[in-house]
């Protein structure tokens, strides 16, 4: 396996996780705002 490609895959996966987390937080904040 190509180490460089593995690193790229790790970075992309990390970015996707960060994005998913940000979206989840935004949804939670929106729901909280509507409930208040």
pLDDT at 24: 98
CA distance 11 to 19: 12
pLDDT at 36: 79
pLDDT over 90 percentage in the chain: 92
3-17 pLDDT, tens digit each: 999 999 999 999 999
Mean pLDDT of 10-25: 98
What's the rounded Cα separation, in Å, for the pair 29 and 36?
A: 11
CA–CA separation, 1 and 20 (whole Å)? 28
3-state secondary structure 1-36: CCHHHHHHHHHHHHHHHHHHHHHHHHHHHHHHHHHC
The answer, as to whether pTM is greater than 0.75, is no
- Phi, psi (deg, nearest 5) at residue 2: -80, 120
pLDDT at residue 33, as a whole number: 93
């Amino acid at each position: 396996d190509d180490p460089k490609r593995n690193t790229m895959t790790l970075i992309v996966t990390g970015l996707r996780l960060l994005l998913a987390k940000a979206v989840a937080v935004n949804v939670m904040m929106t729901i909280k705002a509507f409930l208040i």
